[in-house]
């Protein structure tokens, strides 16, 4: 279907003898346009072949520990919804049984958990059990207590997350890398590519988060400076694009908190200087002194009350109560923090508030973009465990240098991923 054909049909349309022929030709054009749009979309697919669809499905089954007991049928692409359907089979003594299917988003490579047969159904079909109708009323399970130790991982957080067990984390608090805002950050080829990477990390975070727990994100619009005097600078509304990603990945929106900095903090951006001199309408640009702290919850049918009443250790619930002097409104006035070692840290005070309000003592707090480890320090200070992932060596060095000082008492054992235990190295060197 190409443009030429559409042009030719349009020509006939103009001179068509009857309205019946006209209607027929219009329908034909519409159909051809639709097909052209579809094939344009197909060019953008990141999962293009049967083998690629099977690889994504295989990794997904691996994360469920089911890859050894299942096989795949022939994946089919569904270009109405831009997805691949990968049948999951069990082959046993010459018979083949379909257990379900894995649905892969062709544009993003992500598995759509909503459309994919659930782990429970796959497992019970593997065991030949009945599911669905005959379900007996079961007792309400208590919330899970994670067995993860304090962990520091060096490398790409998408990869490190893929090795993190399901439902092993109780809170995610992080601030993402800025999209090309500063040269020292990762450069992405396009904003779409940046968002896709973020979506993959949010997807993994959803999997590792415990039922009904929170993902809190510190994020703000990004200023792309003008390349020359004749061009305008651009502001990208990053928080609103993140909101879409959270909703697509199975989170519900809970709150937008505004972190307010003192006025002086925003002047460094240069915004508002021109207006303050000329005072021309339309040139008005406010000096940005706020950042968002967006709060999302992993979708669940459980009420918050369930986390509190069914928690297996009621002493922890009592000890985690938030003291007087907490933030009553969604305007949090906090001074920004600066570090010689990192250009964009958030203040310890911000991390502490988030941790106190959105987790219980002994919970596991994950920061997939850990920087110099502010979230880890705040977690320890408030008797929580931490999981920190960071891919820049210099920032990792800072974490290693300071981690002992985070603990009042002796430092407990830490899981060091993708690197040697720095403290063993220390002893070895002595």
Stretch that binds ligand SAM, among 126-134, 270-278, 344-352, 378-386 (CB under 6 A): 344-352
Stretch that binds ligand SAM, among 187-195, 209-217, 339-347, 415-423 (CB under 6 A): 339-347
**For ligand SAM, which is the closer residue by CB, 170 or 390?**
390
State the virtual CA torsion across 245, 246, 249, 250 in degrees, nearest 10: -150
The angle formed by the CA atoms of residues 212, 354 and 206, to the nearest 5 degrees, is: 35
C-beta of 389: minimal distance to ligand SAM in Å?
Answer: 5
Task: Determine which residue in the list 88, 219, 345, 378 makes contact with ligand SAM, applying CB under 6 A.
Answer: 345
**For ligand SAM, which is the closer residue by CB, 99 or 161?**
161
**For ligand SAM, which is the closer residue by CB, 88 or 238?**
238
**For ligand SAM, which is the closer residue by CB, 174 or 210?**
174
Task: Determine which residue in the list 344, 357, 417, 423 makes contact with ligand SAM, applying CB under 6 A.
Answer: 344
DSSP state of 164: S
Of the chain, the end-to-end C-alpha distance in Å amounts to 72
Evaluate whether 370 touches 388 at the Cβ level (below 8 Å). Answer: yes
Residues numbered 387-416 forming contacts with ligand SAM, rule: CB under 6 A: 389-392, 395
Residues numbered 108-167 forming contacts with ligand SAM, rule: CB under 6 A: 156-157
Count of CB atoms situated within 10 Å of the CB of 172: 27
**For ligand SAM, which is the closer residue by CB, 77 or 257?**
257
Q: How far apart are CA 225 and CA 228, in angstroms?
A: 9
Evaluate whether 419 touches 399 at the Cβ level (below 8 Å). Answer: no
Task: Determine which residue in the list 75, 87, 177, 250 makes contact with ligand SAM, applying CB under 6 A.
Answer: 177
C-beta of 380: minimal distance to ligand SAM in Å?
Answer: 14
The closest of 386, 388, 377 to 418, measured between CA atoms, is 388
C-beta of 345: minimal distance to ligand SAM in Å?
Answer: 3
**For ligand SAM, which is the closer residue by CB, 96 or 190?**
190
Exposed/middle/buried for residue 196 (C-beta within 10 Å: 0-12, 13-18, 19+):
middle
The length of the chain is: 430
Which value, in Å, is the radius of gyration of the alpha carbons in the chain?
26
Task: Determine which residue in the list 116, 175, 204, 320 makes contact with ligand SAM, applying CB under 6 A.
Answer: 175
State the virtual CA torsion across 316, 319, 321, 324 in degrees, nearest 10: -170
Q: How far apart are CA 162 and CA 303, in angstroms?
A: 28
C-beta of 52: minimal distance to ligand SAM in Å?
Answer: 22
Residues numbered 232-291 forming contacts with ligand SAM, rule: CB under 6 A: none
**For ligand SAM, which is the closer residue by CB, 124 or 418?**
418
The angle formed by the CA atoms of residues 317, 323 and 324, to the nearest 5 degrees, is: 150
Evaluate whether 364 touches 198 at the Cβ level (below 8 Å). Answer: no
C-beta of 153: minimal distance to ligand SAM in Å?
Answer: 8
State the virtual CA torsion across 380, 383, 386, 390 in degrees, nearest 10: -20
**For ligand SAM, which is the closer residue by CB, 72 or 185?**
185
C-beta of 349: minimal distance to ligand SAM in Å?
Answer: 12
**For ligand SAM, which is the closer residue by CB, 101 or 390?**
390
**For ligand SAM, which is the closer residue by CB, 246 or 346?**
346
**For ligand SAM, which is the closer residue by CB, 125 or 200?**
200
Evaluate whether 339 touches 372 at the Cβ level (below 8 Å). Answer: yes
State the virtual CA torsion across 105, 235, 240, 292 in degrees, nearest 10: 130
C-beta of 371: minimal distance to ligand SAM in Å?
Answer: 2
Position with the least CB separation from ligand SAM: 371
C-beta of 327: minimal distance to ligand SAM in Å?
Answer: 19
Q: How far apart are CA 323 and CA 382, in angstroms?
A: 12
Q: How far apart are CA 374 and CA 372, in angstroms?
A: 6
Task: Determine which residue in the list 213, 342, 353, 361 makes contact with ligand SAM, applying CB under 6 A.
Answer: 342
Residues numbered 364-383 forming contacts with ligand SAM, rule: CB under 6 A: 369, 371-372, 374
C-beta of 180: minimal distance to ligand SAM in Å?
Answer: 12
Task: Kindly state whether residue 194 participates in binding ligand SAM, applying the rule CB under 6 A.
Answer: no
**CA 219 from chain center: how many Å?**
13
Q: How far apart are CA 64 and CA 59, in angstroms?
A: 9
C-beta of 155: minimal distance to ligand SAM in Å?
Answer: 7
**313: enclosing H helix or E strand:** none
What 3-state class would DSSP assign to 3? helix
Residue numbers at the binding site for ligand SAM (CB under 6 A): 156-157, 175, 177, 186, 342, 344-346, 369, 371-372, 374, 389-392, 395
């Amino acid at each position: 279907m190409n443009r030429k054909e559409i042009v030719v049909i349009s020509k006939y349309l103009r001179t068509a003898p009857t309205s019946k022929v006209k209607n027929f030709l219009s329908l034909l054009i519409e159909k051809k346009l639709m097909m052209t749009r579809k094939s344009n979309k197909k060019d953008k697919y990141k999962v293009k072949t049967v083998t690629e669809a099977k690889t994504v499905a295989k990794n997904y089954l691996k994360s469920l520990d089911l890859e050894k007991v299942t096989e795949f049928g022939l994946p089919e692409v569904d270009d109405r919804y831009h997805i691949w359907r990968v049948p999951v089979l069990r082959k046993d003594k010459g018979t083949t049984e379909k257990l379900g299917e894995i649905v892969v988003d062709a544009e993003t490579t992500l598995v759509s958990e909503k459309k994919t047969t659930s782990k429970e159904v796959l497992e019970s079909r593997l065991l030949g059990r009945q599911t669905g109708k005959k379900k007996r009323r079961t007792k309400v399970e208590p919330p899970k207590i994670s067995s993860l130790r304090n962990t520091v991982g060096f490398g790409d957080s998408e990869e490190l997350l893929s090795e993190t067990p399901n439902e092993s984390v109780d809170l995610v608090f992080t601030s993402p890398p800025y999209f090309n805002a500063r040269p020292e950050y990762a450069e992405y080829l396009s904003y779409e590519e940046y968002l896709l990477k973020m979506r993959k990390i949010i997807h993994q975070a959803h999997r590792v988060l415990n039922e009904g727990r929170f993902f809190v994100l510190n994020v703000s619009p990004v200023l792309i400076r003008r390349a020359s005097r004749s061009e305008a600078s651009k502001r990208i509304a990053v928080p609103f694009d993140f909101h879409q990603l959270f909703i697509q990945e199975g989170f519900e929106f809970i709150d937008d908190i505004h972190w307010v900095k003192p006025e002086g903090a925003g002047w460094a951006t240069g915004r508002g200087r021109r207006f303050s001199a000329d005072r021309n309408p339309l040139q008005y640009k406010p000096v940005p002194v706020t950042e968002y702290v967006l709060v999302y919850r992993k979708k669940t049918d459980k009420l918050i009350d369930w986390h509190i009443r069914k928690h297996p250790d009621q002493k922890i619930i009592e000890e985690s109560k938030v003291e007087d002097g907490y933030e009553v409104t969604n305007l949090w006035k906090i001074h920004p923090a600066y570090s010689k070692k990192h250009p964009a840290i958030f203040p310890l005070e911000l991390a502490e508030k988030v941790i106190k309000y959105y987790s219980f003592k002994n919970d596991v707090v994950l920061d997939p973009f850990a920087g110099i480890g502010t979230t880890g320090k705040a977690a320890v200070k408030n008797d929580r465990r931490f999981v920190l992932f960071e891919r820049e060596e210099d920032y990792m060095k800072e974490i290693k240098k300071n981690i002992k000082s985070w603990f009042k008492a002796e430092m407990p054992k830490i899981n060091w991923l993708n690197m040697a235990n720095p403290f063993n190295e220390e002893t070895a060197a002595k």
